């Protein structure tokens, strides 16, 4: 994958609000799944293990920051040029 084909993705710019909406909906369901109480997990499930829950929360926070940067970047970059 190179940067040459990424220039063709400008055709998707009109659909940007739909992609942002899909990202927000996916984020909402991820929050519900990751931050649900441990009592909602069955004893044998992965989400019941405290160490796994902590790793999920850390990875979720990192991914959330990256998605936020990707969403805000086109609006902030205009300030630098």
Q: How do residues 9-49 score in pLDDT, each as one tens digit?
A: 777 888 888 988 998 999 999 999 888 776 777 777 777 77
The count of C-alpha atoms lying within 13 angstroms of the C-alpha of 77, restricted to the half-sphere facing its C-beta, is 6
What is the DSSP secondary structure assignment for residue 72, as one 8-state letter?
Answer: H
**Residue 25 and residue 19 in contact, taking contact as beta carbons nearer than 8 Å:** no
Cα–Cα distance for residue pair 37/25, rounded to 1 Å? 20
Cα–Cα distance for residue pair 56/34, rounded to 1 Å? 7
Averaged over 43-62, what is the pLDDT? 84
pLDDT of res. 6: 66
Sequence spans of domains, the chain: 12-80
pLDDT > 70? residue 1: no
Outline where DSSP puts E strands in the chain.
Answer: none
């Amino acid at each position: 994958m190179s940067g040459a084909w990424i220039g063709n993705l400008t055709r998707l710019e009109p659909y940007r609000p739909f992609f942002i909406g899909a990202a927000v909906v996916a984020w909402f369901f991820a929050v519900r799944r990751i931050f649900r109480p441990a009592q909602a997990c069955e004893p044998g499930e992965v989400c019941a293990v405290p160490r796994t829950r902590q790793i999920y929360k850390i990875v979720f926070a990192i991914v959330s920051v990256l998605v936020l940067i990707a969403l805000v970047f086109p609006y902030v970059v205009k300030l630098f040029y």
